[in-house]
């Protein structure tokens, strides 16, 4: 995991470049993303910011996350319940998702870029977000079966 303080600076300067107004609430959200381990959902981040800034609106949380995604600073993972975000590994990487408890972990698997290029050639698509997800049961849920 990268240094959270460094990650925080990166995220803040990316937002500043877009002239994003950095209110204390938004700075708090960025701080939470920078220190996040795992893949918090938008709702979890919203709840965490609200505990310190009760006036924070949900729309602001989603707007900030959308902008960070646009700037390739966070990786969005769509789940049934909500969008989850990887704030520390913004580059494409595979995820393992538990179908029972929704736990998300990074898959330790190298993405083969030459296969992606080949896929682009054969499909005619330009791949923008190569998101690979493996669904299964995490070790806890596997055991409880
Ligand atoms: Zn599980
Ligand atoms: Zn991840």
In terms of pLDDT, which residue wins out, 142 or 1? 142
Domain 95-143 belongs in CATH node 1.20.200.10: no
27-82 per-position pLDDT tens digit:
999 999 999 988 999 999 999 999 999 999 999 999 999 999 999 999 999 887 78
4-86, what's its fold? Arc Repressor Mutant, subunit A (1.10.10)
**CA of 25 relative to ligand 2 center, distance in Å:** 25
Indicate whether 84 pLDDT > 90: yes
10-23 per-position pLDDT tens digit:
999 999 999 999 99
Ligand with smallest separation from the Cα of 136: 1
**CA of 106 relative to ligand 2 center, distance in Å:** 5
Average pLDDT, the chain: 91
- 4-86 and 95-143 agree in CATH topology: no
Q: Could you state, in order of their start, the residue ranges of all structural domains in the chain?
A: 4-86, 95-143
**CA of 109 relative to ligand 1 center, distance in Å:** 20
Question: Distance (Å, rounded) from C-alpha 22 to C-alpha 9?
Answer: 13
Question: Distance (Å, rounded) from C-alpha 16 to C-alpha 86?
Answer: 20
- Residue 91 has a pLDDT of 83
**CA of 71 relative to ligand 1 center, distance in Å:** 31
């Amino acid at each position: 995991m990268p240094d959270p303080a460094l990650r925080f600076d990166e995220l803040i300067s990316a937002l500043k470049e877009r002239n994003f107004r950095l209110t204390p609430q938004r700075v708090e959200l960025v701080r939470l993303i920078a220190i996040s381990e795992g893949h918090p959902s938008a709702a979890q981040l919203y709840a965490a910011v609200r505990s310190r800034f009760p006036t924070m609106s949900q729309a602001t949380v989603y707007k900030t996350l959308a902008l960070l995604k646009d700037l390739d600073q966070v990786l969005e993972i769509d789940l049934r319940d909500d969008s989850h975000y990887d704030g520390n590994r913004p580059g494409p990487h595979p995820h393992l998702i538990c179908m029972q408890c929704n736990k998300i972990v990074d898959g330790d698997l190298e993405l083969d870029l030459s296969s992606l290029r080949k896929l682009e050639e054969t499909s005619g698509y330009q791949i923008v977000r190569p998101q690979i997800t493996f669904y299964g049961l995490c070790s806890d849920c596997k055991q409880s079966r």
